[in-house]
Amino acid sequence: MNRIAVLTSGGDSPGMNAAIRAVARTCMFNDIECVGVMRGYEGLIEGDYKVLDRAAVGGIIHRGGTVLKTARSDRFRTEEGRLAALEKMRSEGIDGLVVIGGDGSFHGAKALHDLGFPVIGIPGTIDNDITGTDETIGFDTAVNTALEAIMRLRDTASSHDRLFIVEVMGRNAGFLALETAVASGAEYAVVPELPLSIGNLCKLLRNSYAEHKSHTLIILAEGVMSAHEMREKLQDTGGYDARVTVLGYIQRGGHPTSFDVVLATRMGAFATESLLIGKSGMMVGNINHKLVLSPLERAWSEHKSLSPELLSLVNKMN
Ligand code: ATP
């Protein structure tokens, strides 16, 4: 291989820039050229590339977002769009592609692999909802961002005997909500993976209030319902004054934690080296602190479960 391309696709996540840098620097280390594709699969179709030399990836390691920008591309969902992208890459002498994104982006990567083009995926999403890796790039940062906001809410909550319902992101999965609940010492985590009984929750709130707990925190995953809806449904909060906070997009921004930068750097180097030794149609994962490859389709065909240990911890600690 002489020329490798890298793109970011789907939602951005903190640490994507560190992964881009690692791909570019690993190419340099191996005396090959790296090009960055702007705006995900849209840029791949249009041939919107820029050479990523040493300077182009300098000073980006700790920046949030993605310097390559990201986009959703409907054209790439069509065979015509994918063939156009392939044609562009071949005419530019590109021999392999690294795709950084979520499971949707991996569908696109798999389609290119099926057309005979070498592709490796790197899981980048704050949702952590991808099978084949313990953590996705950006998840740790998003948990820490949520934690920082919640610590501020805790101060005001305990001063007023308040119940705070904090809605966090995570799409249809509860990883972000569960990890945030354990880290913030929340009383309850409400996640899409478990059935919710509003009656039981009201009972628990009444007990908490009767035990003179000065405040109570519910971490709610957006995939269950909105925090405003939950407040409407909680007719009886046992005595607490209920307040709602939706953390929203602040969870996606900000500079990545050291954990995410190290993970992204390891994954970027490993993905590039995997392409160079002829691997394709695979994604990089971090399992028990070790980097591994698994087929891209695992990302959407196998369900990733929440940790039963963390689930039971929320109940034990409340
Ligand atoms: P996030 O988890 O942050 O939403 P994602 O990678 O899952 O990230 P998507 O919007 O689902 O984000 O997918 C990103 C892009 O991948 C799409 O805009 C589309 O171009 C491409 N893509 C998704 N699914 C397919 C598919 N089945 N075939 C080809 N390309 C696809």
What mean pLDDT is predicted for residues 225-232? 96
Residues 18 and 134 in one domain: yes
Residues 21 and 129 in one domain: yes
Question: Closest ligand 1 atom, CA of 102?
Answer: 6
Residues 127 and 245 in one domain: no
Residues 124 and 261 in one domain: yes
- Position 154 scores a pLDDT of 86
pLDDT at residue 258 greater than cutoff 80: yes
154 Cα to the center of ligand 1, angstroms: 37
Say if residues 153 and 217 touch (Cβ distance below 8 Å).
Answer: yes
What mean pLDDT is predicted for residues 256-263? 98
Residue 98 in tokens: 């690294």
Structure confidence at residue 74 as a pLDDT band (50, 70, 90): very high
Domain of 167 in residue numbering reads as 139-252
Q: Report residue 96 CA to chain centroid gap.
A: 24
Residues 260 and 234 in one domain: no
- Position 160 scores a pLDDT of 81
Q: Can you tell me whether residue 260 is helix, strand or coil?
A: helix
pLDDT at residue 182 greater than cutoff 90: yes
Q: What is the CATH number of the domain that holds 106?
A: 3.40.50.450
Residues 127 and 7 in one domain: yes
Question: Closest ligand 1 atom, CA of 75?
Answer: 20
Residues 132 and 16 in one domain: yes
Residues 103 and 235 in one domain: no
Q: Determine how many CB atoms are found less than 10 A away from the CB of residue 314.
A: 19
- Position 212 scores a pLDDT of 86
Q: What is the CATH number of the domain that holds 158?
A: 3.40.50.460
The residue whose CA has the least distance to atom 31 of ligand 1 is 108
Say if residues 161 and 240 touch (Cβ distance below 8 Å).
Answer: yes
- pTM of the complete model: 0.96
Q: Is residue 312 assigned to a domain?
A: no
Tell which one of 8, 68, 105, 119 to mutate to probe ligand 1, the residue whose CB is within 8 A of the most ligand atoms: 105
* Ligand 1 residue neighbourhood (C-beta within 6 Å): 9-11, 41, 72-73, 76-77, 101-105, 107-108, 111, 125, 127
Structure confidence at residue 161 as a pLDDT band (50, 70, 90): confident
Contacts of residue 139, defined as CB under 8 A and 6 or more positions apart, other chains included, come to 13, 125, 126, 127, 128, 175, 176, 179, 260
Counting the structural domains of the chain, the total is: 2
pLDDT at residue 158 greater than cutoff 90: no
Residues 16 and 132 in one domain: yes
What mean pLDDT is predicted for residues 220-239? 94
Residues with active-site annotation: 127
108 Cα to the center of ligand 1, angstroms: 7
267 Cα to the center of ligand 1, angstroms: 20
Give the CA radius of gyration of the chain: 22
6 Cα to the center of ligand 1, angstroms: 16
The residue whose CA has the least distance to atom 18 of ligand 1 is 72
